[in-house]
Amino acid sequence: LMDKKFVFLSKTRTFLSDPKLLNGSVSYILKNQWVFMNLSLQMHVATSDLVTILSTLHADRNVYPSAGVLFVHVLEREHFKGEFPPYPKPGDSSNDPITFNTNLMGYPDRPGWLRYIQRTSHSDGVLYGSPTAEHVGKATIIEIIAYNRRTFETARHNLVINVMSTEEYPLPYQAEFYIKNMNVEEMLASEVLGDFLGAVKNVWQPERLNAVNITSALDRGGRVPLPINNLKEGVYVMVGADVQFSSCLREVENPHNQLRCSQEMEPVISCDKKFRAQFDIDWCKINLVDITKRIMVHSNRPDPGTGVLPDIGGYNPPPESLKSRDFFADFLITLAVPSAVAMVLFSVLGYSMCCRREGVDKRNMQTPDIQLVHHNSIQKSTKELRSMSKNREISWPLSTLPVFSQSGEVVPPIHPDNYETTSMPLMQTQT
């Protein structure tokens, strides 16, 4: 559909620019019925409409952030819903899950200063970051691809970021706050960030105050909170001003508050009540930076280069039609060799155990007769003794039997009353 629109609009613009084809342009427009629905529209109105449509299809969106100031750009789902077909049921198109993929044109990722977050597929995406003076005068083109997870269709837009230089950059005094009860996407909202800057301005009283940067606590080594009690990840907010830090912000540097922070206790800050209603600030993690007192250290570092690998020639992929390979020989080698070795070992073991046995008869033939007679007499005596031991009726001595069973009951005597007392042991059993 977009290709047909583009061809039609291109031809219509050609007809309007050429006087010879002006008469034929009306019939062409009537046949396609894309733009003109009324024959009484004049040509200058049609020309302006066509230019507007062409600019909507192919124009890039330009933004002009300032160096050293927080840049926030919201990718609204409503802006991209017109690129996708409507939902069959009226009113349900707003529930389409849409995700965004952002990258620098020609590269797989974004610039180092630009970050992106989208919590769910039903929420808007946010591009945010703080450009520096190195990016001034360089147009950064960000490709934004919206992906509809219901229809599996995509829409592509370009965002051109033109970083502008400012005389106030950088603001000499910067304070970084750690807010525990906020996520980064909540803090990036204009009304929330405005409330925080208003509270800071009330405490600091500067002439110029800007948000320099916002960083999620997860990007600074923080842990993902447990999904209980509506816990937040936390966010670091850096604010820059043109005047010295106020006495309230410097209260965290006194020894008493430093001791409380070392003991993991909250410090006593007089201006905390101005933030506490909406922002839970960890004053032990506040960082006050005076850029004017920084010592610049210059070191000889190697040129990092462009980050692009050199061109080593074209890529030659394998052909689509690969030759078939016969694996029958490999199969035979894999199975035949171990099988042959196993058969040889089995044959040697079988011959040693079955074919090399001497047998009882051969052993008796090689044994002297006197030794066989002696061995036979020993076997007979052993059998006789075993048979006699089975037939005797004399019981074991009572001293060797247990007196009590495991249950604690007394064991009755084993011998009968007429048993000979001469065979009884010296120790009598207990009755």
pLDDT, position 100? 94
3-state SS class at 209: strand
Identify each DSSP E strand in 167-208 by its residue range: 173-179
**Dihedral sign from CA coordinates of 134, 135, 136, 138:** positive
State the helix-helix crossing angle for 2-17 and 43-58, rounded to 10 degrees: 140
pLDDT, position 359? 73
3-state SS class at 189: coil
CATH number at 170-294:
3.30.70
Phi first, then psi: what are they for 325, rounded to 5°?
A: -115, 135
Could you tell me if residue 62 is left (phi over 0), alpha (psi between -120 and 50 degrees) or otherwise beta? Answer: beta
Interior CA angle at 401 toward 399 and 402, to 5°?
110
3-state helix, strand, coil in the chain (%, to 5): 40, 15, 45
Beta-sheet pairing, 125-129 with 153-162: unpaired
pLDDT, position 25? 40
Beta-sheet pairing, 61-63 with 153-162: parallel
Low-confidence stretches of the chain (pLDDT < 70) are 1-59, 87-94, 168-169, 294-302, 304-307, 392-431
Q: Spell out the residues 6+ positions from residue 402 whose beta carbon is closer than 8 angstroms to its own.
A: 411
Which residues on adjacent β-strands are paired with residue 404? 410
| Domain-wise residue ranges, the chain | 2-58, 60-166, 170-294
Q: Which of 145, 176, 148, 177 has the alpha carbon at shortest distance from 158?
A: 145
pLDDT, position 118? 93
CATH number at 60-166:
2.60.40.10
Can you give the pTM of this predicted structure?
A: 0.55
pLDDT digits (tens, 9 = 90+) for 372-389: 888 889 999 998 888 888
3-state SS class at 336: helix
Q: Which of 25, 22, 23 has the alpha carbon at shortest distance from 35?
A: 25
pLDDT, position 17? 41
Tell me how far apart the alpha carbons of residues 418 and 334 are, in angstroms, rounded to a whole number: 82
C-alpha separations of 55 from 3, 51, 73, 118 in Å: 15, 6, 21, 28
pLDDT, position 356? 74
Q: Spell out the residues 6+ positions from residue 181 whose beta carbon is closer than 8 angstroms to its own.
A: 232, 279, 280
pLDDT digits (tens, 9 = 90+) for 141-175: 999 999 988 888 899 999 999 999 877 667 889 99
Which residues on adjacent β-strands are paired with residue 62? 160
Interior CA angle at 216 toward 212 and 218, to 5°?
150
